[in-house]
Amino acid sequence: MKLKPEVRQDRPSTRRVQGIRGRVQLFSIKSSPFTITMSLRVLVGVKRVIDYAVKIRVRPDKLGVVTDGVKHSMNPFDEIAIEEAVRLKEKKIAKEVVAISCGPTQAQETIRTALAMGADRGIHVEIPAKEVEKLEPLHVAKIMAKLVEQEKADLVVLGKQAIDDDSNATAQMTAALLDWPQATFASKIEKTDGELQVTREVDGGLEIIKVKLPAVVSADLRLNEPRYATLPNIMKAKKKKIAKMKAADLGVDTSPHFEVLDVADPPVREAGIKVEDVDTLVTKLKDAGRI
């Protein structure tokens, strides 16, 4: 995929601000004007979701699920995304990892977890509690795209989907909005010169693709095994900065595109019956139209 030249042109000047090392490398690698240095800035999305172990209950008004007093934690796929970004940093491929969360005040806890896992700083795009469940992947993608611009990021790593709404759309939309290449459902990421080689799990095997940087990657389950945030690192993370802003500050309109009409529990499995013999079983199945 071709990059838009205007996106790239302002890079050298920003690099200068960010440190000699980035700049030198940028100019020293002449092979391609778009070659990214060994110091990427990585944005990672971390969503606060109801913990995977919690038994979900539908709210009495049937327009959502109960979230009050329910344990929340970081979306597991986002943990994998953060882990991967931190590993890139440990391999000196990334220079800075920024964790971003769009959500209510408590989303800061999620960002803190990301910081404790090794992210350098956080951005909290505060969404009023009432609007959180109406926030759509497109809104988040627009926010991400804006932040990429603001932060001059080179790589966006997102979980492939959040375990609450299972949309599996934000990464793709973000890439589209930025007009960047996308490598979705990554189970392995390797850096080659100015490119990422990404392994994806597809039906019946593995697909290996190359994407040019900058790019959007979405993390699949087997990409890595996220680390535990250690207590000393949690304490250190307290000193890391979290910038706070609103969607409107980024010029993103978060008014919903669709309306929830009804939320219902999955149907309860009906009790089975016992049959006398195989013939009765076959008859019953035929009657039920199953065979």
CB of 169 to other proteins, least distance (A): 28
User: x/- site string to other proteins, residues 69 to 88, per CB under 8 A?
Assistant: x---x---------------
- Is the CB of 228 or the CB of 258 nearer to other proteins? 228
User: x/- site string to other proteins, residues 220 to 239, per CB under 8 A?
Assistant: --------xxxxx-xx--x-
CB of 68 to other proteins, least distance (A): 9
CB of 199 to other proteins, least distance (A): 25
CB of 52 to other proteins, least distance (A): 11
How many residues line the site for other proteins (CB under 8 A)?
14
- Is the CB of 42 or the CB of 229 nearer to other proteins? 229
CB of 238 to other proteins, least distance (A): 6
Q: Could you say which residues in the range 96-135 bind other proteins, by CB under 8 A? A: 109, 112-113, 116
CB distance 85 to 29 below 8 Å = no
> Where on the chain is the footprint of other proteins (CB under 8 A)?
69, 73, 109, 112-113, 116, 228-232, 234-235, 238
